[in-house]
Amino acid sequence: MTQPRILIIGESCRDVFVYCESTRLAPDIPIPVLHVIDQTENPGMAKNVERNVKALYAACDIITNSNWRDITKTRFMHEKTNHGFVRVDAGHSFGRIDLSSLPLSDYDIVAISDYDKGFLEENDLRYICEHHDNVFIDTKKPVGEFLVASRFIKINEKEYLRSCPVAASLQPRIIMTKGEMGAEFQGKTYPVHDQIEVKDVSGAGDSFFAGLLVRYAETGDIREAIKFANLCASQVVQHRGVTSIERPQIPALDAQQASAH
């Protein structure tokens, strides 16, 4: 049986983490003197959603800005505590998407990972939603009627409050993430059951969105997908930096697969 195909659309960058130690302040200005110990990097923004999806699921493609490697978010972090000193952004031109060449009909699920950097405007999101019947949205824009034709809208609690009042027509589509409280959908809360040590929330939203897409593609059940996405986000926040997810263990699914064999 052919896997449903996922297309991710959105702008991307490189996430760079520079891990440092600091034992003194500079003598001329009161700022810490940083000594670099280690550095890591990974594809960021929409490319981070893509790599997390592909860690679990093969049938995934992306449309993003071609210059994503030249756009960086560099975070200087304390090596021992993971405290952030400063973030330095370089490169700001993400270009614009070409709607005329979008192969929407080739995919079963279209996922928009919109960081509101100009690659996608409201009318672009409206167009995509109106030309595909299974569009998942994760946007930094305040949500509005331009998303009325979307299938689901993933948004965190802060973004939801910034969008208020949210139109009644959008409410049934909204999946609101609430950090350690889990997620809320159509009046029901889907909690995170395990107590975990949170080391870094970087990329947690991308991981939730990726898990949501993967599990929905596998089951067609959005509630099952939300539970799975919670497990994915809970996994990555236990590691520093931005990490890719490994498939969480789902007891009910494991039992079902075992009985099938």
Report pLDDT for 261. 31
3-state secondary structure of 227: helix
Q: How many CB atoms lie within 10 A of CB 145?
A: 11
Query: Taking Cα atoms as reference points, which of 40, 9, 68, 67 lies closest to residue 241?
Result: 40
Peptide bond into 32 cis (omega under 30): no
Question: Which residues are bridge partners to 113 per DSSP?
Answer: 10, 138
The answer to whether the beta carbons of residues 6 and 54 sit under 8 Å apart is no
- State the pLDDT at residue 236: 57
Of 55, 54, 73, the residue nearest 14 (C-alpha): 73
Amino acid at 221: D
CB 65 within 8 A of CB 8: no
Looking at residue 121, the DSSP 8-state letter turns out to be: -
| Structural tokens at position 67 | 């210059």
| 57 within a domain of the structure (yes/no) | yes
Query: Domain with 146 in it: what CATH number?
Result: 3.40.1190.20
Confirm whether 42 is domain-assigned.
yes
How many other CB atoms are found less than 10 A from the CB of residue 110? 27
Provide the residue type at 218 as one letter: E
Going by C-alpha positions, the residue among 1, 4, 2 that lies closest to residue 225 is: 4
Residue 53 belongs to a domain:
yes
Residue 241 located in a structural domain: no
From first to last of its 261 residues, what are the pLDDT tens digits of the chain?
689 999 999 999 999 999 999 989 999 998 999 999 999 999 999 999 999 999 999 999 999 999 999 999 999 999 888 888 999 999 989 999 999 889 999 999 999 999 999 999 999 999 999 999 999 999 999 999 999 999 999 999 999 999 999 999 999 999 999 888 889 999 999 988 666 554 444 557 888 999 999 999 999 999 999 999 998 888 755 545 556 667 777 755 444 433 333
| Paired tokens of 143 | 């949500």
Number of domains in the chain: 1
Q: pTM for this one?
A: 0.87
H helices then E strands: how many in the chain?
Answer: 6, 12
Kind and range of the H or E run holding 256? helix 251-260
DSSP 122: H
Contacts of 30 (CB under 8 A, 6+ apart): none
pLDDT reported for residue 237: 52
Domain with 170, as residue range(s), is 6-23+33-186
Sign of the Cα pseudo-torsion (212, 218, 220, 223, in order): negative
Report the C-alpha gap between 53 and 51 in whole angstroms.
5
In a domain, 146, yes or no: yes
pLDDT of residue 205: 85
